[in-house]
A and B are shown apart, each in its own frame.
Chain A
């Protein structure tokens, strides 16, 4: 259509002429185009005389009536809008469209009470809410009637499954206290994929991905259910809910086994810190030797085995597929296997594995980490100075290397090795005991040990260490954190006075610390100045 081309080129006046010329042959597209163009020209009201003329000729054309209502509402001519609605009703008394369009306009304007009046009239005139369920749902949400809104949305989705996103948008602001009732409505029998899918996404938006999956997991394994599971898996991945995504893909996998789904589920399992399930998910593809399996499955299997410290199995897999790997693929897999040896605690094997590959920058960094775990801080510091790792254990190690000037500290290296191997008890003990060997980083080591001990729910043990940091190393960067954490434990134990004393001391001693806002928050909670979360 030439008019549309002119519009897209920004030739508004020419487009208007063209749209007007096309009115007889293509009424809907032309009048909608004119409405858009008038809007661009800032002359929205100019469409009204034309609409009036057209309505006189075609009084039952809903597009014309809708544009008329929309334009009058845009111009804040409320009485004229209401009059136009009444006129439309007179020409179509049994039609739901006038009620729907006018109610939507009122809802968009935040006039929920007026929308309510219109929809009540619609119910009386139409003998029910069947044709206005979406508007009823929106109205009820707008007026805070969340349960009724959920019921309307569920009803609407039975005939229009595509409304799930609209339902999610509408019900997202549901307060915590009413969410349980909304869940019950969407989960009530009979089981419907649409309502469960909407609830699952709603749960994701509410920050409870696991609850979202619970809404879908018991669906009978139909094709629609599998589609819902994989779509939910996509959403869960996007939200970083890795293990929930894994479960969704694994459920889909059970019904329609494909390599792609298995790899996605396994990758999600690895990202979620569960390499065991990653290995299990890929088990059916362990014998596959086609090039696509080698490209997509093998790296995930090697990564999973390495994460479990099963380096020998990882190396065997690499050897078995050696002829199907190009040199770059092989180097990457060998590096993964070397990390498997690190996680197994065998640094000599890790070094040996790395020795079989040409040294690129990444391999060099792996050697840097091995040096650190061996206690060769000088080499580690040199190699890792441009490191960009982001996981917490490695960040701690890099902070340690940046802090200490000691060149050799095998005990400290062992502590970081224990940490990367996931042996938190040994890591905490070794971090604490090695502090004396690195005096310039002692506070960092003790504080790290305290964090690990606290994560293991040993508050007393952690407090002893935090107290040591706060009292023996008051000028160390960790002192503020130690005092804050110490106070938190005191508050958890009910020692409010002690907690307040520590927090006040922390804020006054380290007023520029980035942790001061957290300390103030704790102080408010301790003094009951704010409600407990």
Chain B
């Protein structure tokens, strides 16, 4: 679960929308959706169904994102036909949909009124999306785009993003972005404890040298010190109002790094000093976003960071088998944010491993929203919460369409998984910052 070394590829947005510049604003249509939608009353519309009628769910998110980016307004009909989108009937959008193989249904105002009535009468809601969020992905400069499920999904869907790395974070650049994504970066600075098994592998040597060089350049003595500082900047970013989405090992290690501001949680091979003997008691979990009272794994020979992960995939004696997880059903009108994050055409999804696969219930802070759980298991899969003025979402696992994902495996080709329910969860997070959040009522 480590980057394969390939030449980086520049990512460019859809050329077809480059000439469209209109900007829109945020807002939510809930029960008052009828009134606010009067501005599009005279127009024709395109419904992008997101149930089984859709042939390419993943690109449908890209179409909606790019429609917003081009200045159009969109609506997200949460819980209506798998979380469908409503777009204006513009020739450019039809063209993009045809090119991408996205199923769309033209609507006249009469049919739209019927749909709105249906939405108003059930556990559904219409959320206005008005601004394409500015997306940053925290990834090393030479990292290939194919080793990170979010980057894979964004590239496939045609969603524009910028990559940021330690220099950008420490320079304060995060404030330029609405949405920050983290993947399997090890914020404890121990390079995912792969030192013992891969210390001579070229990709590992390059990864270590690059991190060391960055640490020195930015004035830190070791990689753990650098990553701790980076994690603190990310905590401040969320506290200040940013949206953070993390997957795989980044979920667990970010929290460990944040809580360890007065503790040494890195093994001697990483920073020259052993992990504090009393590390558990030195951790400050009040600062963390999702977890509390975690036991830090102190052995450098055990490929696990803590007891946050329920599956412990890299520790043979602890590894738990994969099951399937269930998306929680929320009230669309009262919990629109949580509802947006679980929009899917499937409610039960096969699980998949990652450096961190799941989150033990026992260490989750009160008040955190569980978005997906495994029936009867002591862990959950998908979490969301508020922190300061911002919010965060953690999704366990590495790649929803590659359950085992071993180092060296071929990258996932999303053209073969156009209706992937697991990848939809990632893309829900991309569009969620486009909508203004309602306060939770439950």
Contact = CB atoms under 8 A, between A and B. Distances in A.
Interface of A: 110-113, 116-117, 143-144, 175-178, 504, 507-508, 511, 516-517, 520-521, 523-524, 527-531, 533
Contacts of A176: 409-410
B95 A528 contact: no
Contacts of B406: 144, 175, 177-178
Given A143-B319, A507-B99, A524 B156 contact: yes
B146 A111 contact: no
B439 interface: no
A529 B411 CA distance: 12
Closest 5 CB pairs of A and B: A177-B408, A110-B321, A531-B411, A531-B146, A113-B319
A352 to B, nearest CB: 55
A511 B98 contact: yes
Interface string B230-253: 000000000000000000000000
A529 B409 contact: no
Nearest to A500: B15
A507 B16 CA distance: 15
B408 A175 contact: yes
Interface of B: 9, 11, 95, 98-101, 145-146, 155-156, 158, 316-322, 404, 406-415
A183 to B, nearest CB: 16
A113 B98 contact: no
Contacts of B99: 504, 507-508, 520, 523
A523 B98 CA distance: 12
B321 A112 contact: yes
Contacts of A528: 9, 11, 145, 155
B152 to A, nearest CB: 8
B61 to A, nearest CB: 13
Q: Which residue, B9, B99, B317, B322, has most C-beta atoms of chain A within 10 A?
A: B99
A112 B408 contact: no
Contacts of B411: 531
A113 B408 CA distance: 23
A517 B101 contact: yes
Given A507-B98, A508-B95, A112 B319 contact: yes
Given A524-B156, A530-B414, A175 B409 contact: yes
B155 A113 contact: no
B316 to A, nearest CB: 6
B378 to A, nearest CB: 15
Contacts of A504: 99
Contacts of A530: 155-156, 413-415
A520 B320 CA distance: 39
B404 A144 contact: yes
Given A176-B409, A516-B101, A517-B101, 8 more contacts: A117-B317, A177-B406, A177-B407, A177-B409, A178-B408, A508-B95, A520-B99, A528-B9
A116 B95 contact: no
Given A116-B316, A524-B415, A529 B158 contact: yes
Contact of B316 (A113, A516, A527): A113
A87 to B, nearest CB: 24
Q: Is the interface of B mostly helix, strand, loop or mixed?
A: loop
Contacts of B320: 113
A29 to B, nearest CB: 35
6 contacts: A144-B404, A175-B408, A177-B406, A177-B407, A508-B95, A531-B412
Nearest to A176: B410
A520 B95 CA distance: 13
A504 B98 CA distance: 9
A520 B96 CA distance: 12
Contacts, number: 69
Nearest to B55: A517
Q: Which residue, A143, A175, A531, has most C-beta atoms of chain B within 10 A?
A: A531
Contacts of A143: 316, 319
Nearest to B410: A176
A520 B100 contact: yes
Contact of B101 (A116, A177, A520, A527): A520
A346 to B, nearest CB: 50
A529 B318 contact: no
A143 B320 CA distance: 11
A112 B319 CA distance: 8
A75 B339 CA distance: 37
Given A507-B98, A523-B99, A530-B414, A116 B317 contact: yes
A116 B317 CA distance: 7
Contacts of B321: 110-112
Contacts of A116: 316-317
B87 to A, nearest CB: 18
Contacts of B318: 113
A143 B412 CA distance: 21
B163 to A, nearest CB: 15
A529 B156 contact: yes
Nearest to B158: A529
Contact of B415 (A144, A177, A511, A521): A521
B302 to A, nearest CB: 14
Contacts of B410: 175-177, 531
B343 to A, nearest CB: 22
Contacts of A110: 321-322
Contacts of A113: 316-320
Contacts of A529: 155-156, 158, 414-415
B427 to A, nearest CB: 14
A164 B285 CA distance: 54
A288 B111 CA distance: 81
Contacts of A533: 413
A15 B320 CA distance: 41
A187 B190 CA distance: 38
Contacts of A175: 406, 408-410
Contact of B413 (A111, A511, A523, A531): A531
Contacts of B414: 529-530
Nearest to B94: A508
A296 B98 CA distance: 57
Nearest to B10: A528
Q: Which residue, B100, B411, B414, B415, has most C-beta atoms of chain A within 10 A?
A: B415
Contacts of B145: 528
B260 to A, nearest CB: 28
Contacts of B412: 531
A516 B411 CA distance: 24
Nearest to B418: A520
A143 B406 CA distance: 11
A429 B322 CA distance: 59
B54 to A, nearest CB: 15
A110 B322 CA distance: 8
A386 B101 CA distance: 37
A168 to B, nearest CB: 19
Contacts of A523: 99
A524 B146 CA distance: 14
Contacts of A178: 406, 408
A175 B99 CA distance: 33
Contacts of B155: 528-530
Nearest to B404: A144
A527 B415 CA distance: 13
A112 B312 CA distance: 13
Contacts of B316: 112-113, 116, 143
Contacts of B404: 144
Nearest to A503: B99
A529 B418 CA distance: 12
A298 to B, nearest CB: 49
Nearest to B100: A520
A530 B318 CA distance: 35
A113 to B, nearest CB: 5
B196 to A, nearest CB: 16
A528 B406 CA distance: 23
B321 to A, nearest CB: 4
